[in-house]
């Protein structure tokens, strides 16, 4: 089970950040009406709120470089907990910004996974 969870976590992370960096509007397909996000301390609920937040970020281009991915099965929910650390490069910045992000992925009735919880923080210092 552990290897399968690691593969699913990595596949999700690769897909999520590919969309974020290249087609941010499409990220809305990964969330549900019950989804929650905390972005730098701001709590946001639902597909529309999360999509609005992500699409209104003050930059149009960026590149995520992933340093680590840790994935664990969530036995009680049938989902996966994924914790990511990495750096974010913005075109107008000379230095990268370190970040960490946590996703709780839950299964849909169709057997796919969606993001139920998403917590994003820049790492300063």
Residue 76 maps to which CATH number?
A: 3.10.450.50
pLDDT at res. 1:
59
Find where tokens 């960096």 sit.
Answer: 21
State how far the Cα of 22 lies from the Cα of 93, in Å rounded to an integer. 18
CB 50 within 8 A of CB 37: yes
Among left, alpha and beta (phi > 0; psi -120 to 50; other), residue 49 is alpha
pTM score of the predicted model: 0.93
pLDDT score for 35:
98
- State pLDDT tens for residues 52-84: 999 999 888 899 999 999 999 998 888 999 999
How many residues would you count in the chain? 125
Q: What is the pLDDT of residues 88-107, one digit of tens each?
A: 998 888 889 999 999 999 99
Question: What percent of the chain shows pLDDT beyond 70?
Answer: 98
The parent domain of residue 20 ranges over 1-122
d(CA 28, CA 123): 25
For the chain, what is the domain count?
1
């Amino acid at each position: 089970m552990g290897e399968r969870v690691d593969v699913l976590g990595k596949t999700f992370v690769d897909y999520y950040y590919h969309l974020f960096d290249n087609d941010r509007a499409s990220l809305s397909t990964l969330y549900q009406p019950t989804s929650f996000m905390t972005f730098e301390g701001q709590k946001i609920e639902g597909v529309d709120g999360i999509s609005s937040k992500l699409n209104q970020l003050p930059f149009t281009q960026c590149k995520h470089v992933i340093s680590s991915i840790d994935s664990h099965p969530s036995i009680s929910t049938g989902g996966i907990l994924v914790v990511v650390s990495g750096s974010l490069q913005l075109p107008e910045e000379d230095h990268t910004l370190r970040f960490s992000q946590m996703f709780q992925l839950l299964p849909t009735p169709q057997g796919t996974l969606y993001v139920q919880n998403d917590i994003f923080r820049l790492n300063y210092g």
